[in-house]
Amino acid sequence: MTIALGADHRGDAALKALAPQLRSAGHTVIILGDCHGQPCDYPDQAYDVAQAVSHGKAQRGILICGSGIGVSIAANKVDGIRAGLVFDEIAAAMSRSHNDCNVLCLSADTTPAKEILTIVDVWLKTPFEGGRHERRVKKIAAIERGKDPRTIPMDATVQ
């Protein structure tokens, strides 16, 4: 799988620890907007990673900033992105199985590097369950298109 990674200066060390693990697991890693440890603005990396996923250059994206909140907000502004802020393995699994989350957002300040590695591993291995959850993801897509999600039929196909 091709995974786009991005981090601001507060998430830079965590990103540098994560990239080799992903590569050793057989993934292709694209680092976008490397800050090289210098102060930088998280919306830039969030945009680059979200665009890579949205345009099919990567199947998934991972973003890391101090709180994880900023990258989550910014990434979710890009069409087709379902970015989830995750702090533990349970949320990682749920973000994939129930929400088909395609961008994982993490907090470098509150999540130790070892936990980040475990969270990412769970997130990458958890499939989307579909079923009743697919209907909800379709409603999220409707909101992106400016539609009221209640107008989506219960048996609507993904558009």
Instruction: Indicate which CATH number applies to the domain containing 99.
Output: 3.40.1400.10
Alpha helix positions (H), 1-159: 12-24, 42-54, 69-75, 89-97, 113-125, 132-144
Tokens of 56: 């099919």
137 lies in the same domain as 157: yes
Whether 65 sits among the annotated catalytic residues: the reply is: yes
Q: Are residues 74 and 147 in the same domain?
A: no
Show the domain range for 153.
130-159
Residues 19 and 57 in one domain: yes
117 and 137 co-located in one domain: no
Domain count for the chain: 2
pTM, two decimal places? 0.93
* Sequence letter at residue 74: A
Residues 63 and 139 in one domain: no
Asked if residue 77 and residue 32 are part of one domain, the reply reads yes
Task: Indicate if 116 and 134 belong to the same structural domain.
Answer: no
Instruction: Sort 114 into a burial class: Cβ within 10 Å, 0-12 / 13-18 / 19+.
Output: exposed
| Among 9, 27, 36, 98, the one annotated catalytic | 98
Looking at the structure, tell me whether residues 64 and 84 fall in a common domain: yes
Judge if 80 and 114 occupy the same domain: yes
Q: Rounded CA gap, 44 and 21, in Å?
A: 24
Catalytic (active site) residue 133: no
pLDDT in tens, the chain (159 residues): 999 999 999 999 999 999 999 999 999 999 998 888 789 999 999 999 999 999 999 999 999 999 999 999 999 999 999 999 999 999 999 999 999 999 999 999 999 989 999 999 999 999 999 888 998 999 999 999 899 999 888 775 544
Which of the following is catalytic: 65, 101, 105, 133? 65
